[in-house]
Amino acid sequence: MSVNSETESDSSSVAEDTPSASSSYNVFGSNTLPNTPSTSDDSSTSQLLNRSRYSDIVHVIVGPEKQDFGVHKGLLCQRSKFFQAAFNGFFAEASKGTIELLEEDSAIFDILYEGQLTEPQNGEDVKCHVTQLIDIFIFGDKFGIRDLCNAAVDRTTDLYEKENGVTVSQIDRIYMGTSPNSHLRRITVATYLQHPSTTFDLFYDKHSEAFLACSEFLLDLAKAYSKNRKTPTTPQRIENRCDYHEHAEGKGKCT
């Protein structure tokens, strides 16, 4: 996987195409519920169909524009540890049935609400979708929505392979918004190791400052490379130490 020298737009715009059932992921909809047997007397099925679990509507106010999303409390709390604690604890949100996330991006929450986590269509910018998926993972990780994080990791990996690269701004976005050992960091490093760059030297020469700014990524990359490198059965000698000597100007190699 190559590190592309270009940077992508930070836009998190939602694709206008209507998502198909096979490609959408609605974190608050029925298509995210676990698969259950079709038998009507199955206890897990009857539990999922129990309307009392989803009868209460809570409101999530998102972004500085305070966009109001009405969500079934049962579905929301089932998917998120954060919302489970907020709406079922002793906080004011539990009694009011409303929580404000004014620092979050309403466009990202809308993707989850409408189930528009989709693959890019023909002609759409793959890097824009990767950026969108990164933001979705960061949101899911922050609010304890495990299934969402897993879906975002899978989609991001697919697009890494399709794009055959990751930009410095994407790496920076991941490392700014995630914690050490996050799954998105790990898959980014692992994918990079599986697809070594053929243009790394050229890229580094032109964009060294931007790349070195991602120091945590470079450290993770070095650790992963060291861990995955095949250890020789016998110690290897440096055959030509002269290659590592500093020579006087105009002088040739050591004799």
The pLDDT value recorded for residue 174 is 93
Contact 122, 18 (CB under 8 A): no
Q: Bridge partners of 100?
A: 61
Which of 60, 234, 25, 236 minimizes the C-alpha distance to 136?
25
The pLDDT value recorded for residue 24 is 45
Give the H/E segment covering residue 105: none
Which amino acid is residue 243, in one-letter code? D
Q: Which residues of the chain have pLDDT under 50?
A: 1-25, 29-52, 123, 198-199, 201-202
User: What pTM did the predictor assign?
Assistant: 0.66
The pLDDT value recorded for residue 209 is 67
Give the H/E segment covering residue 167: strand 165-167
